[in-house]
């Protein structure tokens, strides 16, 4: 196997064995969604209205839950040292880890989101669009988070401080994601513009994230 794919496979294996993987992600998402009505009350119209927001929040939380340990585990057990000594540029290695993380945490959420949408009585046909926004937007969350994860490893102390600077970057993603979803469900605003911005954000993160993260790790060397 190539270094790139082997790293993806390895990270996914670990995620599935330790975290329970896709099933667990789905369960988690289900529970988060089920809990909303408890908090907000049984008002179905309201639920439908904030449904997309809830789905997006669930996605963000699921991403964050696993993310902050993404490089920390490798650093603690010495894997990170060896990852840096590989023949493949560190940027690619970081990207591989990001992809593995997205595949194991974000993708399952995207896939089951339509079902959960029903519980929040979002109409079925609109649900397709919501899932689409999640599919287009979650990579941005993951790869922006990547930077924060790398920073928090690079600077042992106060690493979170920088994560604090990174995490707010996810707000635009959430905003446009929810906007696009709402446009798809309720209208009247057009679906196109926010969605294209969402895709742009994801692409930007996909390119920028690995470079920034790799740089952070390198400078973390002392």
Contact pattern for a copy of itself over residues 24 through 53, marking x by CB under 8 A: xx-xx--xx-xxx-xxxx----x--xx-xx
Q: Residue 45's binding partner, choosing from a copy of itself, another protein, none, with beta-carbon cut-off 5 to 8 A by kind?
A: none
Rg of the chain over CA atoms, in angstroms?
A: 18
Q: Residue 86's binding partner, choosing from a copy of itself, another protein, none, with beta-carbon cut-off 5 to 8 A by kind?
A: another protein
Look at residues 56, 207, 69 and name the one whose alpha carbon lies nearest to residue 143: 207
Q: Does 188 bind another protein (CB under 8 A)?
A: no
Q: At what angle do helices 21-40 and 107-119 cross, to 10 degrees?
A: 30
Look at residues 115, 113, 135 and name the one whose alpha carbon lies nearest to residue 195: 135
Q: Residue 25's binding partner, choosing from a copy of itself, another protein, none, with beta-carbon cut-off 5 to 8 A by kind?
A: a copy of itself
Stretch that binds a copy of itself, among 2-10, 16-24, 115-123, 136-144 (CB under 8 A): 16-24
Can you say whether residue 168 is alpha, beta or left, with left for phi > 0 and alpha for psi between -120 and 50 degrees?
alpha
Q: Residue 46's binding partner, choosing from another protein, a copy of itself, none, with beta-carbon cut-off 5 to 8 A by kind?
A: a copy of itself
Number of H helices and E strands in the chain, helices first, is: 11, 0
Residue 78, judged by CB atoms within 10 A of its CB (0-12, 13-18, 19+), counts as exposed
Q: Which of 84, 118, 189, 207 binds another protein (CB under 8 A)?
A: 84
Q: Does 20 bind a copy of itself (CB under 8 A)?
A: yes
Q: Which of 61, 161, 186, 200 binds another protein (CB under 8 A)?
A: 161
């Amino acid at each position: 196997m190539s270094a790139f794919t082997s790293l993806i496979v390895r990270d996914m294996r670990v995620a599935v064995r330790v975290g329970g993987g896709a099933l667990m992600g789905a369960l988690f998402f289900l529970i988060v969604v089920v809990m909303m009505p408890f908090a907000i009350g049984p008002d179905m119209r309201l639920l439908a209205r904030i449904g997309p927001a809830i789905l997006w929040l669930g996605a963000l939380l699921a991403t964050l839950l696993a993310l902050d340990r993404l490089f920390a585990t490798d650093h603690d057990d010495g894997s990170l040292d060896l990852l840096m000594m590989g023949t493949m540029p560190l940027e690619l290695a970081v990207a591989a880890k990001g992809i593995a993380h997205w595949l194991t945490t974000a993708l399952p959420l995207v896939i089951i989101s339509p079902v959960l949408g029903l519980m929040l009585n979002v109409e079925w046909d609109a649900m397709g669009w919501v899932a689409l926004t999640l599919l287009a937007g979650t990579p941005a969350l993951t790869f922006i988070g990547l930077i924060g994860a790398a920073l928090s490893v690079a600077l042992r102390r106060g690493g979170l401080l920088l994560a604090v600077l990174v995490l707010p970057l996810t707000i635009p993603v959430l905003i446009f994601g929810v906007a696009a979803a709402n446009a798809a469900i309720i209208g009247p605003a057009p679906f196109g513009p926010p969605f294209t911005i969402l895709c742009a954000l994801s692409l930007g993160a996909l390119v920028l994230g690995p470079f920034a993260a790799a740089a952070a790790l390198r400078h973390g060397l002392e």
